[in-house]
Amino acid sequence: MAEDPFPGWHGTTIIGVRKGNEVVIAGDGQVSLGQTVIKGTARKVRRLSPGGFDVVAGFAGSTADAFTLLERLEAKLEATPGQLARASVELAKDWRTDKYLQKLEAMLIVTDGSELLVITGAGDVLEPEHDIAAIGSGGNFALAAARALIDSDMSAEEIARRAMAIAADICVYTNDNLTVEKIAR
């Protein structure tokens, strides 16, 4: 088997937590190439406002690929204002069938304050169980931590921050420099 000429970018944990009337997406700031930290202050959670309709998105994977997907999602939202699920399905269909988009290596968590969705390059648009979604290198650690905390008195933001802190303690590709965006239903 030939060795991959690119050692692979790692270094993202993104979590989305919905609790009460609040949805929070949080992401760490670390970008690594192989075993080297390239940057510790990346912003992988963004607020989009196509046509005045607020959406928060977090991404894991290649930054250029993620920005391409975010631009496509914005275009889909402009074509279907206020319909995040429909825009997400349309994006996933394009991602799955377009020869250029098929090569993109990223995942997205998106919310409009009502829906919380994970969009993948396999054509999936998933609404997570338990109102928690997590992706990236430390995603499973953050997911497990948030699931353990969801029934506590903590807010969605407190749960997301605590889950990210736990993931940063465990995953070497995750740091504690967070970007947190909150949106209400």
Q: What CATH number has the domain bearing residue 36?
A: 3.60.20.10
Q: Looking at residue 86, what is its pLDDT?
A: 96
**Residue 8, pLDDT above cutoff 80:** no
pTM: 0.91
- By percentage, how much of the chain surpasses pLDDT 90? 69
Q: Where are the beta strands (DSSP E) in 20-96?
A: 22-27, 31-33, 36-39, 45-48, 55-61
In a domain, 178, yes or no: no
- The residue annotated as part of the active site, out of 12, 80, 111, 174, is 12
Can you tell me the mean pLDDT for 19-28?
Answer: 96
Sheet holding 31-33, edge to edge: 9-10, 31-33, 36-39
170 near 164, Cβ under 8 Å? no
pLDDT for 53 equals 83
Alpha-carbon 91 to chain mean position = 15
The greatest distance separating any two alpha carbons of the chain, rounded to the nearest whole angstrom, comes to 51
CA distance 148 to 135: 17
12 is catalytic: yes
Higher pLDDT, 9 or 138: 138
pLDDT tens-digit series, residues 133-184 = 999 999 999 999 999 999 999 999 999 999 999 999 999 999 999 999 999 8
Residue range(s) defining the domain that contains residue 41: 9-173
Query: Which band of pLDDT confidence, cut at 50, 70 and 90, is reported for residue 32?
Result: confident
Closest CA to 124 of 135, 139, 113: 135
Q: Which of 45, 121, 119, 114 is nearest to 83 (CA)?
A: 114
Please state the domain count of the chain. Answer: 1
pLDDT of residue 15: 98
**Predicted local distance difference test score (pLDDT) of residue 11:** 67
Is 36 inside a domain boundary?
yes
Q: Is residue 32 part of a domain?
A: yes
* Amino acid sitting at position 13: T
Q: Is residue 4 part of a domain?
A: no
